[in-house]
Amino acid sequence: MTKEQFEQEVERVIDPAFGYAVRLSGGNRDEAEDLLQEAVLAAFKGRETFTSGTNFKAWFFRILTNSLYRKVGKKQLETVSIDADPEPYLYMQARDAGFSGSEDPAELLFDKIDGAEVLAALDALPDDFREVSSLYFTGEMSYDEIAETLDIPVGTVRSRLHRARKLLQVALWDVAVRRGLVEDISHA
């Protein structure tokens, strides 16, 4: 891969890569830039290991992920008790709270939740779940691409992502309850 080709590929993935780095850095944009700088240097030095015609984004994001763990070390997956049942948690909570379920959920609740609270919920996920979720939500990656990036089976991606989404829904419902949104709507 020539320098020009490398630069073009980096430019193509820079927005999702920056988003992923921000999430890996717990929302710290300066740290995200430093992390990206390390990853770009490492990727450029190792560009001969990239196989032409394969997925540059997955290859680069793997280097980005490894750059972080070289710096801070990877925590083992915390033991979290999450029901594997893929129930749509927020919908069921809303229904139990008296909503009919046919309302527009965005208009009802989600537009009233602050973006920072959503990101705080994402950043608070256990490491392995946050990693998969960040690739999914900021990296716009398919399950296959996430599996390739993290070098884990697709089934593991699926299971972590589904559980992470449930944890996110639990956190978002807590935000809605804490801020009185549920009560306001129930009594409207």
Catalog residues that contact other proteins under the rule CB under 8 A: 3, 6-7, 10-11, 14-19, 22-23, 29, 33, 36-37, 40-41, 44-45, 86-88, 90-92, 94, 101-102, 104-106, 110, 113, 115, 118-119, 122, 134, 137-138, 140, 142-143, 158, 161-162, 165, 168-169, 172
For residue 172, the minimal CB distance to other proteins (Å) is 7
Over the range 84-115, which residues count as b (16 or more CB within 10 Å of their CB) and which as e?
eeeeebbeebbeeeebeeeeeeeebbeeebee
Cα R_g (the chain), whole angstroms:
19
Q: Residue 15 corresponds to which tokens in the numbers above?
A: 């927005």
For residue 89, the minimal CB distance to other proteins (Å) is 9
Q: Which is nearer to other proteins, 27 or 62 (CB)?
A: 27
For residue 116, the minimal CB distance to other proteins (Å) is 8
* Three-state DSSP state, 50: coil
Name residue, tokens 């990727």: 43
75 burial level (CB within 10 Å; 0-12, 13-18, 19+)? exposed
For residue 137, the minimal CB distance to other proteins (Å) is 4
Q: Which is nearer to other proteins, 67 or 73 (CB)?
A: 67
